[in-house]
Amino acid sequence: MSTRLLLGDTHPFDILFKDLFKDTENFVPAYATKPPHPLDIYETKDGLVFEVACTGIEKDAVRISTEDRDVIKITYEKPKEVDNTEINYIHKGIAKRSFNLAYKVASKYDLEGSTAKMENGLLTITIPYAEASKPRTLKID
């Protein structure tokens, strides 16, 4: 056994990887300084669905656009806050920060046929399957 381990002397290499795989430690991913905006992306029998949290955001303030026939962008620019001295927050936990999301969507989905709705602070974007990717039956001659 190494005398370094017995004496408790720690090598810099040991410090670098100390507790790297422990769940209880404060190991934080690189993006933790600005956490990603909360959203769910899932697939249904009808296509691809994006659910984006938009708590306290008006639907007219969110912009959805497509680029190059395979990229969907969802953006919100938070308006500048007016200094309101009448509000004395005890806890401020609702994040109404700006976000700029962009996702490349596979060609099996039809971005042009997308629909969007906002209900109860949840923006839902549905992207149907492209006609070419839908299952079809071939007739045998």
For residue 71, give the 3-state DSSP assignment.
Answer: strand
Can you give the C-alpha Rg of the chain in angstroms? 24
Question: pLDDT, tens digit, for every residue of 71-116?
Answer: 899 999 988 876 667 778 888 777 778 889 888 888 889 999 999 9
Highest CATH level, class, for 33-133: mainly beta
Give the residue, 5 or 96, on which the prediction is more confident: 96
Query: pTM of the full predicted structure?
Result: 0.66
Domain locations in the chain as residue ranges: 33-133
Asked if residue 23 has pLDDT above 70, the reply is: no
Q: How many CA atoms lie within 13 A of 86 on its CB side?
A: 1
